Structure 1
Amino acid sequence: MPIDAAKALAAEPRSSEITWDHKDVQLYHLGIGAGARPDKDSPATDPDELRYTLESRLHVLPSFATVAGAGAPAVIRGLSLPGIEVDLARVLHGGQSLTVHRPLPVAGTATATGRIAAVYDKGKAAVLVMRTEVADADGPLWTNDSRIFVRGEGGWGGDRGPSLRLDAPTGEPDRTVERPLREDQALLYRLSGDWNPLHADPEFAKLAGFERPILHGLCTYGSTLKAVVDTLLDGDVTRVRSYATRFAGVVYPGETLRIRMWRRDGAVRVAVSAVERDDAPVLADTVVEHA
């Protein structure tokens, strides 16, 4: 079996130093759609977008934590750990959760420590939970959990793990917004460090079972958090405490995201779909907890 669960879980955590500055933050924000006109009636240069794109006003969207340091993303790093040997073409990013311990600085140096926190047997697939904890000289900054699905690697009789499915939100959403994506959105986003050819190479995408390159799930993840912050959190990124989602379907560059939001006590429930494909689900079981 290419995945040795016991070996993966027993492996020593790996630590590395990461650094970033305002240019990395700005590039990430542009990669998730910042600076674009949210609708045809918006000004060509929206002043509110400058907090994502202009260094003198810059704040950091917490989902930047998924790319900070410009190293290989957790989905790739997890495949190089002891006990893990799988084909990249059979790998899908199944879900992501982020806990923010302090507001992210515009520039910083920190230590990132990664390990396999869990290995689950889903029958037709294995699920790896790759945990990355990041701290600087002042203490913890954030914790990221990436759920990595490896198709065809389940069935050894292991623990299926907990269900992360939530009851669907009820009632009409408090807000619904649409966010168009650029045709070259994946090519721009990958400059923040995720070089998986699935998002750029048509031939590789076909090998993986897709008609053409798909958008990074973490790009949709970032775009969605930005919409929640801008729409329901008064544009204040420091209010975000945690953010979790399940990747329920693919997005193709050039499509439009429909983002529905329901206010809850201390949280926002979110559902995201692709407008051009009859509201095909994209993100599900999505919760932003906030101050």
Structure 2
Amino acid sequence: MPIDAAKALAAEPRSGEIAWTAKDVLLYHLGIGAGLPATDPDELRYTLESRLHVLPSFATVAGSGAPGVISGLSLPGVEVDLARVLHGGQVLTVHRPIPAAGEATTTSSLAAVYDKGKAAILVLRTDVADADGPLWTNDAQIYVRGEGGWGGDRGPDTRMAPPAGRPDRVLERTVREDQALLYRLSGDWNPLHADPDFAKTAGFDRPILHGLCTYGITLKAAVDTLLGGEVTRVRSYATRFAGVVFPGETLRIRLWAQDGGVVRAEVTAVERSDAPVLTDTVVHHT
């Protein structure tokens, strides 16, 4: 079996150093569609260094690219074909506001390996801290097709009931044809998002958008409309990647403001009859 769960879980945590600058933050914001209209004061806080606010989902690319999807495949006991790999879900916990530039230490380990029958799920946890203490924690869920069926733990059922009632906001965001090519410059070099031939070997007609790009687009929409543009109010942000997005498509983002500092979100692809893209999506905030 290409995945040796016991060996992978027993591996020692890996530590590393990362650094980022305002340029990295600006590039990330552009990669998730910020800056339209270019002179809008609400957009300039994402695109002008003198006013820069850091959207918390920047933590998924800070310093070393998207956490977990590529690095998780280099763990002891894990040998899989990259063409079989998809990002299944992401949970971000923010411990303090993320500075526009900084240096930090990362500690990564495999938190769980689940056997879903036709697939395996690897949960890679990355804790990030700077000289002042913890900054954020990322849990990346890596879905590996064809690698389940060894009789392991199926893991918890984390699916949620759909939000009740009419959404408080319904927004549409057009994904640019070159969105994946721009977003990948923040560090996720998986050829699935750029190389048509590789995409075909993975079972797609053409390259697909990074799930974490849709993740960032959705958080920005929630912050801008329901949190008054205040990025520091976000405490955690979780989603399950329910389907793919192709560059050039339109995202329909439905948002529900709930009691207790919660925003629920559901995202679909308009041109494919509202095919699900992100589900079980929750922002906890102050």
TM-score in terms of structure 2 length = 0.98
Partner letter of residue 232 of structure 2?
T
Alignment of 1:1-291 (within 5 A): 1-37=1-37, 45-71=39-65, 73-265=67-259, 266-291=261-286
Q: Distance in 2 between matches of 1:34 and 1:112?
A: 27
Contact 2:263 2:283 in 1 (8 A): yes
Q: Deviations over 1:131-177 (max 9, x none)?
A: 00000010000000000011110000000000110000111001111
Q: Distance in 2 between matches of 1:225 and 1:164?
A: 20
Q: Distance in 2 between matches of 1:68 and 1:163?
A: 30
Q: Deviations over 1:16-48 (max 9, x none)?
A: 0000010000000000000024xxxxxx52121
Q: CA RMSD in A?
A: 0.8
Q: Distance in 1 between matches of 2:255 and 2:66?
A: 31
The count of residues paired between Structure 1 and Structure 2 equals: 285
Q: Distance in 1 between matches of 2:257 and 2:47?
A: 28
Contact 2:3 2:80 in 1 (8 A): yes
Contact 1:268 1:289 in 2 (8 A): yes
Contact 1:32 1:219 in 2 (8 A): yes
Residue 181 of structure 1 and its aligned partner are, at CA, apart by 1.2
Contact 1:73 1:193 in 2 (8 A): no
Q: Distance in 2 between matches of 1:68 and 1:177?
A: 27
Residue 88 of structure 1 and its aligned partner are, at CA, apart by 0.2
| SS, match of residue 97 in structure 1 | strand
Aligned to 1:41: none
Partner letter of residue 133 of structure 2?
G
TM-score in terms of structure 1 length = 0.97
Contact 2:170 2:255 in 1 (8 A): yes
| SS, match of residue 143 in structure 2 | strand
Q: Distance in 1 between matches of 2:134 and 2:208?
A: 33
Partner letter of residue 16 of structure 1?
G
Partner letter of residue 74 of structure 1?
G
Q: Distance in 1 between matches of 2:9 and 2:205?
A: 35
Structure 2 portions without partners, runs of 5+: none
Contact 2:67 2:126 in 1 (8 A): no
| SS, match of residue 153 in structure 1 | coil
| SS, match of residue 282 in structure 1 | strand
